[in-house]
């Protein structure tokens, strides 16, 4: 084998490993999204502009981006085919609204945080 063939094999192995890791992460994100929708009664995948839906969708954009290490494009895809710029706007918007402590944002955030705790407790028990 020459050097070019070795590099090609390494690239194929690396691509396979990355795609496998990405697939596992996206499956975890899908599971998380379904869990949140079920336990909050708000489906973030719905194409609606209702205030509580938008707040939760923005909270999830930020959480998924930071917690699962997906790109803004991948986060948008996971949340119903949103554009990456929509995710960037949502992340920026929710941080500002949390900082300003808007009443409805704080209420939805409290619900979201309790659902995250429940989800993490269930999944940490499964892994032990």
Global pTM exceeds 0.95: no
- Where residue 80 falls (left for φ over 0; alpha for ψ -120 to 50; beta otherwise) is left
- What is the rounded CA–CA span in Å between residue 31 and residue 50? 23
pLDDT, one tens digit per residue, over 103-128 is 999 999 999 999 999 999 988 876 55
pLDDT, one tens digit per residue, over 45-103 is 888 999 999 999 999 999 999 998 889 999 999 998 999 999 999 999 999 999 999 99
Residue 87, domain CATH: 1.10.1750
Question: pLDDT class for 2, splitting at 50, 70, 90?
Answer: low
In a domain? residue 23: no
In a domain? residue 40: yes
Question: pLDDT class for 6, splitting at 50, 70, 90?
Answer: low
Q: Which domain holds residue 122?
A: 35-127
């Amino acid at each position: 084998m020459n050097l070019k063939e070795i590099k090609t094999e390494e690239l194929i192995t690396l691509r396979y490993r990355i795609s496998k890791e990405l697939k596992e992460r996206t499956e975890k994100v899908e599971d998380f999204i379904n869990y949140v929708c079920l336990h909050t009664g708000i489906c973030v995948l719905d194409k609606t502009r209702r205030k509580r839906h938008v707040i939760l969708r923005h909270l999830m954009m930020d959480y998924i981006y930071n917690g699962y290490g997906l790109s803004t494009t991948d986060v948008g895809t996971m949340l119903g085919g949103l554009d990456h710029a929509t995710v960037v706007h949502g992340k920026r918007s929710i941080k500002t609204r949390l900082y300003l402590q808007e009443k409805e944002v704080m209420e939805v955030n409290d619900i979201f945080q309790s659902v995250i705790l429940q989800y993490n407790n269930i999944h940490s028990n499964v892994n032990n």
